[in-house]
Amino acid sequence: MNYLLAVLVSALAVAFAVAVQAGEQQIVGWVEKVRLSPGNVLVEAKLDTGALHCSLDADNLTYFTRDGVQWVRFQAEDHLGQKATLARPLVGEANIKRHFLKYQKRPVVRLGVCLGSFYREVDVNLVDRSGFQYPMLIGRDFMRGALLIDPKGKHTVEPDCREQQKLE
């Protein structure tokens, strides 16, 4: 009897600890709409705990120099199929290992991403994701410490970041 009571108390303590931790983090589905900044572009994104970095479907990449800094101009398609042209300073290049394929070099830019009420500026690699169902992949570098994924949830929140900063 004492053993069962000890197990029950331990289970309740673990459940309470998880509930307290979840209270500090926003629970979201595995597919959500996110708002990108700058540009105010609304896209569907798959949240992937197996991916470290974020990727965005980008077309018509053009490199140029502005005030001695390398930039990239690209087009991103919003959730309604409308194209938005964005230009961001080039942060670097990512070497991405693809399953059973060679490494792929991708340009990396910094974007603001709003998911639910959570906003974070994060490095995003630009790539042709037209073969995938979702134009954006959200990796752990964005989710870290702020989001918990409900694997049965989909479109559970709308982007609503009141403290969102505008990237210039």
In order of 53, 100, 102, the CA distances from 95 in angstroms are 11, 15, 10
DSSP state of 35: E
Other CB atoms within 10 A of residue 30 CB: 17
Q: What is the DSSP letter of 71?
A: E
Phi-psi region of 47 (alpha: psi -120 to 50; beta: other; left: phi over 0): beta
pLDDT in tens, the chain (168 residues): 554 434 333 433 333 334 434 457 899 999 999 999 998 999 999 999 999 999 999 999 999 999 999 999 999 999 898 999 999 999 998 887 666 667 778 899 999 999 999 999 999 999 888 878 899 999 999 999 999 999 999 999 999 887 555 554
Residue-range domains of the chain with CATH = 26-154 (2.40.70.10)
Half-sphere exposure of 92 (CA within 13 A, CB side): 5
pTM of the model: 0.78
The alpha-carbon radius of gyration of the chain (Å, integer) is: 19
